Amino acid sequence: MVTEIFGTCDPAFNPVRDALQESFAGADEVGEAVAVWAGGQCVVDLWAGHRDAARSQPWQEDSMRLHVFRR
């Protein structure tokens, strides 16, 4: 089953989208989000899956993001 990925992704960063999709290939992944900023702009803002182990609450755009890295 293919997990639907939501959000935006600059085409130059499609490998990030692909890696997110691949992480759901196994049955262990429940939900994820990733954001990448480059040159002062958000070039990746993606999320997929669920917020809970029961898979009853979908990950939303405003679900808590645990890590933010900026350069």
Number of domains in the chain: 1
Nearest Cα neighbor of 50 from 59, 42, 40, 61 is 59
Task: Note the pLDDT tens digit of each residue in 25-48.
Answer: 877 888 888 999 999 999 999 999
Q: Is residue 12 a part of any domain in this protein?
A: yes
pLDDT at residue 68 tops 80: no
> 70 in a domain, yes or no?
no
Residues in the chain: 71
27: containing domain: 5-49
Residue 29 lies in a domain: yes
33 in any annotated domain = yes
Q: Give the percent of the chain with pLDDT over 90.
A: 45
Q: How far is CA 51 from the centre of its chain?
A: 12
pTM for the complete prediction?
0.80
